[in-house]
Structure 1
Amino acid sequence: MITPLPALLEENPIIIAIKDEEGLSRCLQNPKPVVFVLYGSVVSIPDIVRRLKEAGKTVFVDVDLLDGLSAREAAVEYLVGATEADGVISTKAALVRRAKALGLAGVYRTFLLDNMALQSLRKSGGSQWADFIEILPGLMPKLIARLSHELNAPLIASGLIADKQDVIDALGAGAVAVSSTCPAVWEL
C-alpha cells in the first residue's frame, strides 16, 4: 500500500529538491522518500522520473522549469502521459488545478517577496485547490506561523534552507515539511 503524502511528510519532513544530474545521483543514494525535480526537459523527464520511481520515491516535477514545454495545461497532460510523476509544482494556479483534475497532487509555489505578494496569496484561494503551498524563501518562521493558521493547505518551506536550525525553525513555526537542494540538509 502506498503511504499518503501527508503521512510521508509527517515521518520525513525533509524533501529532496534536485536541480541537476549530480543531485539526482545523490538523491538515489538517500532514503528520503519525497523528491522535487527542478530541472529536465521534454526529452529527459521521463527517464528522470522513471529512475526515481524505481528507487521508490514520491516524485513531484516543477512543470515551470522543464525545457521544451510551455507553461500551459498541455505540459501537465504531457507529464501524465509520459511519466509516473505523483504531482506537479507550479507558480501558475491553472497548472496546479489541471494536475488535480488529472489525479496528480498539486503544489502551488509562491515567492513571498513583499506585502503585495502576501496579499495575492491570501486572495488566490490556493488553499482551496492546492494540496500544498510552497513558500519561498523558507527562512521566515514568523510568517510561516501566521500562514499555517490562515491557509487551509499545509505549508512547505523552501529556499535558502541550509542547516539543521533552518529546518527546526521552519517546522517549529508550522511548516509540514522543508524542501532543499542542499545535500547536507538531506542527511538530517
Structure 2
Amino acid sequence: MEMKFYDYLDANPVIAAVKDMDGVKKCCEREEIKIVFILFGDVCSICRIVEELKAHGKVAMVHMDLVSGLSGKEVAVDFIKKNTRADGIISTKPALIKRARELDLYTTLRVFVLDSMAFENIEKQMGLARPDSIEILPGLMPKVIRRVARLVKAPVIAGGLISEKEDVMAALSAGAISVSSTNQSVWSV
C-alpha cells in the first residue's frame, strides 16, 4: 500500500461514518472526505457499498461487527479481503484485527470506554491485536482520550456522540488524531 493509514488519518481529522446509503451518497459528494467508516450493510450489499466509495476515491473501512451475515470468525475478514476492495476493517474483536493485519488491510480496534475495567483492558487488547489505530467511544471524554493517547502507541480516533465543532476540537486537543462521526454537519469542520 502506497500511503500508510496514519498518513490518511493525519491528513483527514474528520472521518465520515455512514449508517445508510444516503450517508454514502452524501460523503461521495464531498471531496474533502477521504476516509469513510461503513457502519451498516450485509453480505449481499457490502461489496456494492465499498465499490461506490472506491469509485469516488475514498478509503473504505468496513465495521465487521455491524455487517449482517458475517460471523465473528477470522474467515469473515478473508471474505472482505477476497470479495471487496475495502482498504481495511474496524472491529471490537482483536482476533479479527490480527487477521486483517495478516491480510495487509488497515485496522482500527474499536473500544467502548465505559468504566475503569474497560480502560484497564485497552493495553491487553492492543497487545493482542496491534491495530493501526484505536477508536474510543464515546468520543466526548477529553480526559480519557488524553489518557489513552499516552497509554497506546497507535493513533487514537474519537467516535460516538461527536455532534458539533467544539466536540471535534476538544477531542483533537486531547490527543485524538481524528474523530469519526455520522453527523454530517461536522464532516467539513
Structure 1 and Structure 2 fold alike (TM over 0.5):
yes
CA distance in 2, matches of 1:128, 1:108: 8
Deviation, structure 1 residue 127: 8.2
Deviation, structure 1 residue 150: 1.3
CA distance in 2, matches of 1:55, 1:75: 25
1:99 aligned residue:
100
2:177 aligned residue:
176
1:12 aligned residue:
12
Deviation, structure 1 residue 8: 2.0
- TM-score, normalised via structure 1 length: 0.96
Does the aligned pair in 1 maintain the 2:38–2:60 contact within 8 Å?
Answer: yes
CA distance in 2, matches of 1:103, 1:83: 14
Does the aligned pair in 2 maintain the 1:127–1:152 contact within 8 Å?
Answer: no
Deviation, structure 1 residue 93: 0.3
- TM-score, normalised via structure 2 length: 0.95
CA deviation string 1:72-107 (max 9, x = no partner): 111100000110101000000000000000110111
CA distance in 2, matches of 1:121, 1:69: 25
Correspondence list, 1:46-125, <5 A: 46-125=47-126
CA distance in 2, matches of 1:24, 1:43: 17
SS at match of 1:9: helix
Does the aligned pair in 1 maintain the 2:111–2:136 contact within 8 Å?
Answer: yes
Give the stretch that moved more between structures: 74-83 or 128-137.
128-137
Give the stretch that moved more between structures: 3-12 or 157-166.
3-12
When residues 123 and 3 of structure 1 are mapped into structure 2, their CA distance, relative to the original with a 3 A threshold, is: closer
Deviation, structure 1 residue 123: 2.6
Letter in 2 for 1:6: Y
Q: What is the Cα-based RMSD across aligned positions, in Å?
A: 1.4
Give the stretch that moved more between structures: 2-11 or 161-170.
2-11
When residues 126 and 108 of structure 1 are mapped into structure 2, their CA distance, relative to the original with a 3 A threshold, is: farther
When residues 147 and 127 of structure 1 are mapped into structure 2, their CA distance, relative to the original with a 3 A threshold, is: farther
CA distance in 1, matches of 2:121, 2:3: 33
CA distance in 1, matches of 2:52, 2:126: 35
1:41 matched to 2:42 = yes
Does the aligned pair in 2 maintain the 1:127–1:133 contact within 8 Å?
Answer: no
Deviation, structure 1 residue 71: 1.3
Does the aligned pair in 1 maintain the 2:54–2:85 contact within 8 Å?
Answer: yes
2:27 aligned residue:
27
SS at match of 1:108: strand
Letter in 1 for 2:133: F
